[in-house]
Amino acid sequence: MQELWRLTTVPHVDRETVTAMQANNASSWLEIDLAGIRRNVRRIRELIGPSCQIIAMVKANAYGHGAAPTSHTAIAAGASRLSVATLEEALELKAAGVEAPIMIMGPGGAELADEAVANGFEVVISNREVADALSRQSQRHGRAAGVHVKVDTGMGRLGAAVEDAAELVERVEEMPGLRLVGICSHLATSEQDDQSFAREQLAAFERFCVQLAARGLADGALRHIANSGAILTLPEAHLDAVRPGALMYGLSPGGIAVDDDVVPALTWKARICHVRRAAKDSSVGYGRRHVFERDTRVAALPFGYADGYLTTLSGRADVLVHGQRAPIVGAISMDTTMIDVGHIPEARPGDEVVVIGSQGDEQITAEELADRAGAIVHEVLARLGQRLKRYYLNEHAEEQEPCAAAAAARTS
Ligand SMILES: *Cc1c(COP(=O)(O)O)cnc(C)c1O
């Protein structure tokens, strides 16, 4: 059951910001609506209830949305922790003044122990080598190292084997300088309709936690396993904390239907830089991959695969121009993408084009692009390049934001 979800218009767009952006003359840029992120975090809170923590997944530059603004916004909206993949990502957040606990998930090993401990980051570990390194650094720096022990319940990637994990937890509790913060695992299939494997993983995780308790271990540690798919479809997996990525950005994980209280936070726009006539039987771009069947007009757009527009979208995707769809023609190149605008005679250089987002009554979702590219929605976002300028809308919460207002109405 694949349902592309609707874009709900979020009001209160900060006009000053938009004007500043237009004055800036960017040619291809992202608009990130922080009110959308706030709304999505609040929706996650409604789904998980008041006592479960939200660990905001802000790895890969917050799925392209910009790590620091996204993190500050997620925390203000109710997330209590942040998680990244690498030490560098954690350092970026610290430099941006983020004060919430930051967890480095890896993959990464003992080499990050020194700086992780020195900076007070928590580390997810799967083996004793990393535990030992953290303990050594902790003594050297005179500072406790927060640790989450990961157990592999079926993802088969990181995590200690279930048979060895209790021993690893015991070691963490006994070693000088280490502080056990959490016990976690990761689901391989939470986005699929068939929940049987996810349920098996959850059962294995719960058995493991019971076994720890029986040995008097991990008392008070946070148990967390749920990603966006499980937040939506497997409430039993919410446990002490959840780790939303996709859902926080308003993306539908694996095509799972999400309700109107979840909105995409990101819009990708560009301006047409050149328009030319193209004669029947002439071609466009590298490899002459598209030959026109009729006389038409083509427009050049100032972005390409270096900005994260996947080359597999060549000949398969559209952008929006004057509220209409215009197809991509020819090979997508590093900096330039071409569209056929024969049916949009008013298209001119300088006109605004929407790559992801809505214009008039039309909409192109990140999910649509993923589908056409043969990719997953996470990839479409994570590849958004550094060259794209990011502009933030609605940095400050309005008193009556839609989701807050709805929640207030329900509780009063
Ligand atoms: C990326 C990631 C998540 C978030 O996944 P989404 O599907 O985007 O919600 C959660 N847990 C781990 C370990 C991850 O790597």
Closest atom of ligand 1 to 248 CA is 9
- Average pLDDT over the chain reads 91
261 belongs to a structural domain = no
Residues 339 and 198 in one domain: no
Residue 314 binned pLDDT confidence (cut-offs 50, 70, 90): very high
How does pLDDT run across 265-280, given as a tens digit for each residue? Answer: 999 999 999 999 999 9
Tell how far the Cα of 187 is from the centroid of ligand 1, in angstroms.
Answer: 9
Q: Radius of gyration (Cα) for the chain, nearest Å?
A: 24
Active-site annotation holder among 249, 286, 305, 391: 286
How many whole angstroms separate alpha carbon 28 and alpha carbon 285?
20
Token readout for 121 is 């980051």
Q: State which of 220, 250, 280 marks the end of a domain.
A: 250
Residue 25 binned pLDDT confidence (cut-offs 50, 70, 90): low
Residues 240 and 312 in one domain: no
How does pLDDT run across 238-253, given as a tens digit for each residue? Answer: 999 999 999 999 998 8
Task: Let me know if 293 is exposed, middle or buried by CB neighbors in 10 A (0-12, 13-18, 19+).
Answer: exposed
Question: What pTM value is reported for the model?
Answer: 0.91
Amino acid at 221: A
Residue nearest to atom 13 of ligand 1 (CA): 186
Q: State which of 250, 280, 306 marks the end of a domain.
A: 250
We report the CATH number of the domain holding residue 368 as 2.40.37.10
202 belongs to a structural domain = yes
Residues 148 and 271 in one domain: no
27 belongs to a structural domain = no
pLDDT of 402 reads 55
1 belongs to a structural domain = no
How does pLDDT run across 85-129, given as a tens digit for each residue? Answer: 999 999 999 999 999 999 999 888 899 999 999 999 999 999 999
How does pLDDT run across 333-357, given as a tens digit for each residue? Answer: 999 999 999 999 999 999 999 999 9
Residue 80 binned pLDDT confidence (cut-offs 50, 70, 90): very high
Tell how far the Cα of 254 is from the centroid of ligand 1, in angstroms.
Answer: 12
**In the block, which residue shows the tokens 């002439």?**
282
Which residue range is the domain that position 86 belongs to? 34-250
pLDDT at 377 over 70: yes
We report the CATH number of the domain holding residue 204 as 3.20.20.10
b or e along 149-187 (b: 16 or more beta carbons within 10 Å of the residue's beta carbon)? bbbbbbeeebbbebeebbebbbbbbebebbebbbbbbbb
Residues 210 and 280 in one domain: no
94 belongs to a structural domain = yes
Token readout for 287 is 């490899």
Nearest to 395 by CA among 23, 22, 36, 3: 36
Cβ < 6 A, ligand 1 pocket: 57, 105, 186, 227-229, 243-247, 253, 378
pLDDT at 399 over 90: no
Tell how far the Cα of 285 is from the centroid of ligand 1, in angstroms.
Answer: 37
Residues 45 and 152 in one domain: yes
Question: Is 59 noted as a catalytic residue in this protein?
Answer: yes
pLDDT of 109 reads 87
Token readout for 300 is 């050049």
173 belongs to a structural domain = yes
Residues 242 and 281 in one domain: no
Residues 333 and 233 in one domain: no
pLDDT of 21 reads 55
Residues 48 and 197 in one domain: yes
Residues 240 and 327 in one domain: no
pLDDT of 372 reads 96
Question: Is 286 noted as a catalytic residue in this protein?
Answer: yes
381 contacts 58 by C-beta, under 8 angstroms: no
Nearest to 251 by CA among 80, 375, 408, 84: 375
Residues 42 and 91 in one domain: yes
Residues 284 and 352 in one domain: yes
Over residues 381-388, the mean pLDDT reads 95
3 belongs to a structural domain = no
Closest atom of ligand 1 to 228 CA is 9
150 belongs to a structural domain = yes
How does pLDDT run across 192-210, given as a tens digit for each residue? Answer: 999 999 999 999 999 999 9
The number of folded domains in the chain is 2
β-strands 290-291, 283-284: how paired?
antiparallel
Residues 233 and 105 in one domain: yes
Q: How far apart are the first and last CA of the chain?
A: 35
Residue 179 binned pLDDT confidence (cut-offs 50, 70, 90): very high
